[in-house]
Amino acid sequence: MNSILSLAQASENARSFDTLLLVLVLFSLAIVTLVGTLVLVFSIRYRKGSKVTRHRVPRLLSHQIEWGWTSATVFVALFFFWGAASIMVRQLDPPPDAMEIHVEAKQWMWKARHPNGTREINALHVPMGQPVKLYLDSQDVIHSFFVPAFRLKQDVVPGRTATTWFTATEPGTYHLFCAEFCGTSHSQMTGEIVVMEPEDFSAWLANRPEGDTLVAEGRKLFTTAGCSGCHAEGSDVHAPDLNGVAGRRVALADGRVVTADDAYLRDSILLPARDVVAGYAPIMPDFGGILETGEVTALVAYLRSLGTQEGETP
């Protein structure tokens, strides 16, 4: 796995990363050699007392030299930008078949929940070769989900759900670090990422106690927290219908039109007065002090599932 000089290359992104890194390292070596040689050669050749003839640089030539290395540097800078940016853009969106795992960060632990509800603390088991999309939430301060072997890092900011993804390529156990300083035990907020062959992963998953899936927990909360009192089909209260709300374009009372993404759904639960839907009275109570972060995540997951197959057939 990791030696003292090399880092395991355990995800698809790690390969393109290491290639780019190598190019930059070689380029840096070339520049250091160039500058080092110039300084060394000039220092020796033009040291005081040496008898070599000193030629002056004509003004025109020195201007040409100046323009020469300026444009060369601009070209190199843009070239590296293009190389780095194209790798980044290629890796922006996860493949559509990615497996979704929810991760919750809090001082000072990582809690993960698999699609079937299986939970883990400070550990995450994933199958090799399967794209995995992570939904990351924080209960308190900013944390950062960092897996060096995957060359993957994503800050987890309270109040918004971050997403990131990876496809593991090598079985093994790798470090998970919190990379954003989060208080006293920051350096204890670590865990392990276990990459398994797909069949081993299935066997591992089958032996774990199954918990509620996030959607199931959200469905329960939808009733117990009182959402259904207004938003259920049979309710007398004039409240928006939430079937298929996720991803829909929503017209607001103040004239704005927004897309109902995760952040919008979360804000509508915690700060309902901010984005009132056009045609409805601002009567929804504020759930900020009532629901915990994990519960809001579950509700949002449930809302996302409404209108899809999973949501309609309880």
Residues 199-258 that bind other proteins (CB under 8 A): none
In angstroms, the CA 246 to CA 39 distance is 62
Stretch that binds other proteins, among 18-26, 115-123, 239-247, 277-285 (CB under 8 A): 18-26
In angstroms, the CA 155 to CA 136 distance is 9
Pick one of 112, 162, 221, 298: the residue that binds other proteins (CB under 8 A).
Answer: 162
In the chain, the largest separation of any two C-alpha atoms, in whole Å, equals 101
Q: Does 60 bind other proteins (CB under 8 A)?
A: no
Shortest approach of other proteins to residue 233 CB, angstroms? Answer: 31
In angstroms, the CA 24 to CA 137 distance is 34
Shortest approach of other proteins to residue 61 CB, angstroms? Answer: 11
Pick one of 96, 234, 255, 289: the residue that binds other proteins (CB under 8 A).
Answer: 289
Q: Is 186 exposed, middle or buried (0-12, 13-18, 19+ CB in 10 A)?
A: middle
CA-based nearest residue to 197, from 125, 147, 146: 125
Pick one of 61, 85, 237, 278: the residue that binds other proteins (CB under 8 A).
Answer: 85
Shortest approach of other proteins to residue 117 CB, angstroms? Answer: 26
CA-based nearest residue to 218, from 207, 204, 231: 231
Q: Does 290 bind other proteins (CB under 8 A)?
A: no
Which is nearer to other proteins, 80 or 204 (by Cβ)? 80
Name which of residues 27 to 46 contact other proteins (CB under 8 A): 27-28, 31-32, 35-36, 38-39, 42-43, 46
In angstroms, the CA 268 to CA 248 distance is 14
Pick one of 109, 123, 157, 232: the residue that binds other proteins (CB under 8 A).
Answer: 157
Stretch that binds other proteins, among 76-84, 97-105, 201-209, 241-249 (CB under 8 A): 76-84
Other C-beta atoms lying within 10 Å of the C-beta of residue 241: 11
CA-based nearest residue to 165, from 104, 92, 106, 109: 92
Pick one of 12, 100, 155, 212: the residue that binds other proteins (CB under 8 A).
Answer: 155
